[in-house]
Structure 1
Amino acid sequence: MMKKLFTTTILALSGLMFSCNDSVKPQNTANEVLDLFVSSVNDKNLEPLNAVFSPKAKIYEQGSVDDSWEHYRDGHLGKEIEEMANMTFDIEIAESLVNKEMALLRGNYLIKGEMQGQQINSAGLVTLSMQVEGDMWKIVHLQFSRGCKKVATDHAAHGAVNDDKPKPKSPKTAAMGNAGNTHIHIDYSSPSVRGRTIWGGLVEYDKVWATGAHRATAINFSEDVEINSTKVPAGKYGFFTIPGEKEWTLIINKNWDQHMSDDYDQKQDVVRIKVEPEVLADTQEALTYSVTKINDTKASVAIAWEKLKVSFEVKAL
């Protein structure tokens, strides 16, 4: 529970540091929103934060939707803030993308404080998405790693946190963007080439692949969309592919909560798309998803790894 509080807090802080550089700016500035967040936490009064969280905001943990902002505010977050004292925050944004209507931030956080007489030292990775709704920046998605480290007792508080633990070879990450007013959020694990033969080697041809590592890749649409002339209701789905030497099959499936493609069932498919892979000029070391705006209603979802790239279009309804 503490991990959720810390990460949610830092995520909100990180996102609120950004402002839109477009000529048309929201009414709230980054500094105003940041000041509002800090004062709300310090005053132990979360009600003012309602203005900077979208009604559709979701808090994510390792790819699973944990709570709405309202439920989290009235539950875990509110209760735990009452028990916290002497908190200090430090955050470093490692990657960011901002345009007129949307901001995506990824970075590292560190939080220190005291709770119920215990010293807390927590660190991890954060991802935050903000969106302009009406005339204000609002937080729509929060996602955090479970890589938090905590010093559980006063006796251990003087010990150094072990940051020498090897980094995962296929770290969990996310990609997100908009098709019109529909938010697209993708959670996946990102393996790297590391000198291996990928196509026809590590990834077998003509077999269903989770298109990532560990858990199945999950894709979430905030509103109904159209993919390959098929209506896909709002919600969360598994994304799978069947790579071929000359043609790939891209699959949207109802079962997103599974290990790799162990429980894949074709009867649960919502959409199947045939595409030809694009050959890249340069090697893409880590498997990477991206969501790119095409026009006011469409976006392209792309997957690139090694020297291949495949993509499909999503249309807002």
Structure 2
Amino acid sequence: MKPVLISLALAALVAFSRPALADEAPSPSAAKSPIETVVAFGAALEAGDEAALVGLLAADVQIAESGGIERSLEEYRSHHMAADITFSKAVETTVLDRQVFEGGGLVTILTEYVSKGTFRDKPVNSRLMETMVLQDTGDVWKIVHIHWSSASLATDHDH
């Protein structure tokens, strides 16, 4: 998979955390827990709701994917956010597993996804791993770090 598709596949997986956890994703303003925040992020990415995405991410968020890093919300917004939204709308993504680790005002959520579909006239069949670190700001949970990685799945394998 080319780097652009890898980046987009990773973003899509994040975006589609909602189907496995809830019938409807909470709105960003209604997200009260770290899990609800992750689910709201995925729903906002799929819906193309840039304002909601901005509300869920810390201004100094660090987003790592495909060997690169964006070191702020504004950098992500100006570089990959639109492409991540486009990819998220183009493919179906399913949550396979999610684990939560808490401590010291931070929560780390690891999510494994499978993403299938077609993007830019090319088939997508990928496993995505997402790590999100969220910080309790007192009022809401903000995403302070995202790391996405993906690998293409052979068509004859389910894992």
TM-score by length of 2: 0.69
Q: How does 1:12-51 map to 2 (within 5 A)?
A: 14=17, 28-30=31-33, 33=37, 36-51=40-55
Q: How does 1:199-238 map to 2 (within 5 A)?
A: none
The answer to whether the 8 A contact 1:85-1:114 is kept is no
Pair 1:76-2:80 in alignment: yes
Aligned residue pairs: how many?
A: 145
* C-alpha deviation, 1:100, in angstroms: 6.8
* C-alpha deviation, 1:40, in angstroms: 2.6
- CA–CA separation in structure 1 for the residues paired with 2:63 and 2:12: 11
Q: How does 1:128-139 map to 2 (within 5 A)?
A: 128-139=132-143
- CA–CA separation in structure 2 for the residues paired with 1:105 and 1:35: 11
Report the AA paired with residue 110 of structure 1. Answer: V
Q: SS where residue 91 of structure 1 aligns?
A: strand
Residue deviations 1:211-231, cap 9 Å, x none? xxxxxxxxxxxxxxxxxxxxx
Q: Partner residue of 1:149?
A: 152
Task: Work out which of the residue numbers 57, 65, 69 in structure 2 matches 1:66.
Answer: 69
RMSD: 3.4
Pair 1:127-2:123 in alignment: no
Structure having the higher Rg: 1
- CA–CA separation in structure 1 for the residues paired with 2:130 and 2:36: 22
Identity %: 20
- CA–CA separation in structure 1 for the residues paired with 2:62 and 2:44: 20
TM-score by length of 1: 0.38
Which runs of 4 or more aligned residues in structure 1 lie more than 4 Å from their structure 2 counterparts after TM superposition?
12-15, 83-86
The answer to whether the 8 A contact 2:8-2:87 is kept is no
Pair 1:160-2:152 in alignment: no
The answer to whether the 8 A contact 2:97-2:112 is kept is yes
The answer to whether the 8 A contact 2:93-2:115 is kept is yes
Q: SS where residue 82 of structure 1 aligns?
A: helix
| Runs (5+) with no aligned partner, structure 2 | 22-28
Pair 1:5-2:1 in alignment: no
From the two aligned structures, give the one with the greater helix fraction. Answer: 2
Q: Partner residue of 1:115?
A: 119
Report the AA paired with residue 93 of structure 2. Answer: F
* C-alpha deviation, 1:80, in angstroms: 4.9
- CA–CA separation in structure 2 for the residues paired with 1:27 and 1:82: 25
Report the AA paired with residue 151 of structure 2. Answer: C
The answer to whether the 8 A contact 1:149-1:161 is kept is no
| Runs (5+) with no aligned partner, structure 1 | 18-25, 152-158, 164-317
